[in-house]
């Protein structure tokens, strides 16, 4: 059971009670709740992604020169693929 502090009053609510309360809101307010929850979820997922990228960058460091070389290789591959497709 979750404890929620509302205007200085502590209320204990179960997830089902919270869902029931949200369902009683007008559609516009339910959408506002959904957007807020989606934003929080997106933020958590994005922060987790950044942490994984940082961990990988720390474990497998790569220089600007290496990045530039990889970019050059990928661009050349894409150009070759486009040329092959356009010559058909």
pLDDT of residue 72: 97
Torsions phi, psi for 11 (to 5 deg): -125, 135
For residue 17, count CB atoms less than 10 angstroms from its CB and return exposed for 0-12, middle for 13-18, buried for 19 or more: middle
Cα 83 from chain centroid (whole Å): 36
Has residue 2 got a pLDDT over 80? no
pLDDT of residue 65: 94
Cα 48 from chain centroid (whole Å): 8
Burial pattern 42-62, b for ≥16 Cβ within 10 A else e, equals eeeeeeeeeeeeeeeeeeeee
The pTM of this model reads: 0.47
Condensed to tens digits (0 to 9), the pLDDT of residues 4-39 reads 777 888 888 888 998 999 999 999 999 999 999 999
Taking the domains of the chain in order of start, what are their residue ranges? 2-86
pLDDT of residue 10: 87
CA distance 26 to 33: 11
> Over the chain, what is the mean pLDDT?
91
């Amino acid at each position: 059971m979750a404890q929620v502090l509302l205007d200085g009053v502590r209320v204990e609510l179960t997830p089902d009670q919270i869902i029931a309360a949200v369902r009683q809101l007008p559609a516009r307010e339910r959408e506002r709740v959904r957007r807020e929850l989606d934003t929080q979820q997106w933020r958590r997922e994005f922060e987790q992604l950044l942490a994984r990228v940082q961990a990988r960058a720390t474990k497998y460091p790569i220089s600007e020169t290496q990045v530039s070389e990889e970019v050059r290789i990928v661009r050349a591959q894409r150009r070759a693929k486009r040329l092959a497709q356009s010559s058909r």
